[in-house]
Structure 1
Amino acid sequence: MRILHTSDWHLGRSFHREGLLGHQGAFVDHLLEVVESERVDVVVVAGDVYDRALPHVDAVELADEAFARLAGSRASVVVSSGNHDSARRLGFGSRLMDAAGVFVRTDAAGIGTPVVLGDEHGDVAFHALPYLDPSALLEPWSLPRRSHEAALAEAMTRVRRDLATRTTGTRSVVLAHAFVAGATPSESERDISVGGVSRVATSLFDGIDYTALGHLHGPHELSPDLRYSGSPLAYSFSEADQAKGSWLVELDARGFAAAHWVDAPVPRRLSRISGRLDDLLADPALTAREDDWVQATVTDVPRPARAMELLRRRFPHTLVLQFPTPVARDDAPAAPAAGRNDHEVALDFLSHVRGAPATPAEAALLQQAVDACCHDPDQDVLVGTGAER
């Protein structure tokens, strides 16, 4: 059996206000091409189909198109929900979709009941575990503690209980959306530590022929049969150096046989550049990055004016402009002293942060801002005393 392992589509997500729906649609096209060219039998999606619990209508339409096209392909589809998905909304119509070969599993109550598919060697039991919120399951499952490991351990107990009832030779695949120890997160994943300790041990999946993990956006091979596919697109500049794609997994009669990486199309590369503004605008080595999405760190002191405007003349897809955190100096302004007015304090702060004093025009603008904040035309005056109330 040939299984294509993917996850973390995050349909509807934007990248620093740049819409990605067209790029996500191109990934769906790529997915269908791989299904046909690699003769894939099953596509597994290990959570986070959507980027939010209430996805935009365009994201829902793309998901509908993706599942309909996969249903018409040679492959069956097994999907679990992630922490970004609404389990109820993603799972709507799942019993109807089963008949089309698209098996969407979002309800924790169904854990222990697998999707069973077959090949020439017999049955493969796919246990698709939705994202498990330990706070929601603490009482219903009588968990010993509120943690993701406790919730996932109970889920895997139910999985193994089912597998123990199956005929010898039944192979097992588990889909799990979790943070498994040994993997490295990116900036774009939502923290799941609220509501319980987030990391879980790899040993929870011992004895499973293949575990398809979701949640982390970079690909990881924790063991030959325990892998993250990562997201199909980069969703933060911390992912600039990550490969994006899917795992093509092969099961033989004994279980896991091999896994091969399949690159996803890259709609636009990500680049992080750093240096003085004049150098960034003139460096010939950066020519190849001019069409990339760019995160620029400008190191000039003082900070140059119109930096984003100038950068976009050369790098039109510059999305992020940042400056290094200023180093604490011995001449850092102290707490406001008696007799110093607000305007002087503001000027000191600007000079400290920027490394250069305000220009006359900036000083005048700060004075206007201070005056606007301090003057309240609606204040009443006690007649005859001059005292404000």
Structure 2
Amino acid sequence: MGSCARFRQRNLAAVDPRAPGFHAGAMRFIHTADWQIGKPFRNFGEKESVLRQARLAAIETIGRLAVAEGAAHVLVAGDLHDTEAPAQKTLLEPLERMRNFPGVAWHVIPGNHDYHRGNGLWDRARALGLPGNVHLHLTPEAAALGDDAVLLPAPLRRKSEVNDLTEWMDGAGTAAGKIRIGLAHGSVQGFGASGEANNPIAADRARRAGLDYLALGDWHGTLQVGPATWYAGTPEADRFNSQEVGQVLLVEISGPGSPARVTAHRTGAYRWISQAEQLSAAADLEGLERRLRALPDLPNLLMRLDLTGTLDLTARADLARRLAALEAAMFWLEPDLEALHVRPTLADLEKIDFDGVLREAAETLRLQAENAGLGPVERRRAEEALVQLYLLTRDSHGEAA
């Protein structure tokens, strides 16, 4: 059997309760959220479609992880879609990928991006026909998770709720001996986990409702709120200054009242990082490039690079050359040069023109760039014009930038 055939067979396999580390009688599931299928990445140009497809590929990664770890259930804590009115293809794409894992039950609640309303996306999905292993929880009603656990969902019916929709869990009766698991999407009060919409959730909801685990969505980063309350984060990172790499949580609970054992697993293909560097001399540039090239997996790295300091024109031209090479090495490089200033030396100006009209233009731009009486935008434009003049004259002289 070829490798492709073996891969396909594993994708379609049922969950194996004999998976490594599985304890007989334990409840094992995967907690995930904030897939936001269909999310636009318009600022990334031709890379947009790649990032959109990566979010779909993460679903298959989750399915394979569930099979390998013997997790019979995957809990999706809201925002499966990025909008509550997706195109039909976008609506069906994640459902079809979940269909490929018939031995895994996928449990989905609406979030603030894909909230449930009459004749909305969830009614459309049901009319088109859901895969048998995909379970939508559109009302706050207890649902069985196999023989050992009960799911208490808190689906959103609008983008923003004033009341805590998890409050109903406090009085939800379940049979003795059942593990109680809550599933919700919102912002935990008093913990600093502010989401995109209001949707408040009490920080001690798990204790009040006697939950063995409360699976949350909305916060795009893995975060433990309490002993039994977690945000899973997004399975494929989607922004700078948030979650560096996509993850899901593998959760195992041995029985009612037992502590949850939670393990994070990487599912994302891309890393999103922000880095700040201060430059003051040409010698700093070699070290900067060396450090960036030493980062792992450059072809799958997205970086926002904030540069500060002051360089002369020669060093600034060298920086442009190095950044162009790094941009080609990485999936995406977004340098911010707003706080990096240019101060030409006498030698820089003489390279532009020793004594002529170009030299006069360069001197005028230098004075504007250093004029504290001008606004920051005007000074910045003068600096950029000076750099471009320098590069043009060097190119015309046949010199390397």
1:125 aligns with 150
Note the C-alpha offset of 1:58: 4.9
Residue 53 (str. 1) matches residue 81 (str. 2): no
Deviations 1:87-128 (A, max 9, x none): 22034344996882321123xxx22x2222333xx4x22122
2:54 aligns with 23
Q: Identity, % of aligned pairs?
A: 23
Counterpart residue type for residue 296 of structure 1: L
1:219 aligns with 222
Residue 192 (str. 1) matches residue 203 (str. 2): no
1:114 aligns with 142
Deviations 1:339-364 (A, max 9, x none): xxxxx9xx9886534646838979xx
TM-score by length of 2: 0.65
1:339 aligns with none
Counterpart residue type for residue 85 of structure 1: D
Q: What is the distance in 2 between the residues matched to 1:265 and 1:134?
A: 27
Find the partner of 2:307 among 285, 298, 307.
Answer: 298
Q: What is the distance in 2 between the residues matched to 1:156 and 1:248?
A: 25
1:151 aligns with 164
Find the partner of 2:293 among 274, 282, 287.
Answer: 287
2:133 aligns with 101
Residue 8 (str. 1) matches residue 20 (str. 2): no
Find the partner of 2:240 among 230, 237, 240.
Answer: 237
CA change 1:357–1:130 in 2 (3 A) is closer
TM-score by length of 1: 0.67
- Judge which range, 229-238 or 277-286, deviates more: 277-286
Q: Would you say the 8 A contact 2:222–2:233 is kept in 1?
A: yes
Q: What is the distance in 1 between the residues matched to 2:302 and 2:334?
A: 9
CA change 1:361–1:117 in 2 (3 A) is closer
Q: What is the distance in 2 between the residues matched to 1:68 and 1:162?
A: 31
Find the partner of 1:161 among 163, 171, 175.
Answer: 171
Q: Would you say the 8 A contact 2:327–2:333 is kept in 1?
A: no
Q: Would you say the 8 A contact 2:95–2:131 is kept in 1?
A: no
CA change 1:38–1:358 in 2 (3 A) is closer
Q: What is the distance in 2 between the residues matched to 1:323 and 1:286?
A: 17
Equivalent residue of 1:202, what SS?
A: coil
Q: What is the distance in 2 between the residues matched to 1:235 and 1:357?
A: 32
Find the partner of 2:323 among 286, 311, 321.
Answer: 311
Counterpart residue type for residue 67 of structure 2: E
Equivalent residue of 1:40, what SS?
A: coil
Equivalent residue of 2:234, what SS?
A: coil
1:253 aligns with 255
CA change 1:311–1:91 in 2 (3 A) is farther
Q: Would you say the 8 A contact 1:125–1:170 is kept in 2?
A: yes
Q: What is the distance in 1 between the residues matched to 2:91 and 2:130?
A: 19
Gaps of 5+ in 1: 138-146, 328-343, 363-389
Note the C-alpha offset of 1:282: 5.4
Counterpart residue type for residue 297 of structure 1: D
Q: What is the distance in 2 between the residues matched to 1:310 and 1:80?
A: 47
Find the partner of 2:107 among 63, 75, 78.
Answer: 78
Q: What is the distance in 1 between the residues matched to 2:260 and 2:384?
A: 68
Q: What is the number of equivalent residue pairs in this alignment?
A: 310
Q: Would you say the 8 A contact 1:308–1:321 is kept in 2?
A: no
Counterpart residue type for residue 304 of structure 2: Q
Q: What is the distance in 2 between the residues matched to 1:359 and 1:326?
A: 10
Counterpart residue type for residue 105 of structure 1: H
Equivalent residue of 1:253, what SS?
A: coil
Residue 92 (str. 1) matches residue 124 (str. 2): yes
Counterpart residue type for residue 203 of structure 2: T
Gaps of 5+ in 2: 1-26, 342-367, 387-401
CA change 1:311–1:54 in 2 (3 A) is farther
Q: What is the distance in 1 between the residues matched to 2:385 and 2:58?
A: 50
Residue 352 (str. 1) matches residue 376 (str. 2): yes
1:370 aligns with none
Deviations 1:37-94 (A, max 9, x none): 1111211000010112233555334212223123x1x222210011111422034344
Equivalent residue of 1:299, what SS?
A: strand
Counterpart residue type for residue 382 of structure 2: A
Q: Would you say the 8 A contact 2:215–2:230 is kept in 1?
A: yes
Q: Would you say the 8 A contact 2:108–2:135 is kept in 1?
A: yes
Q: What is the distance in 1 between the residues matched to 2:257 and 2:123?
A: 29
Equivalent residue of 2:294, what SS?
A: helix
Q: Would you say the 8 A contact 2:309–2:340 is kept in 1?
A: no
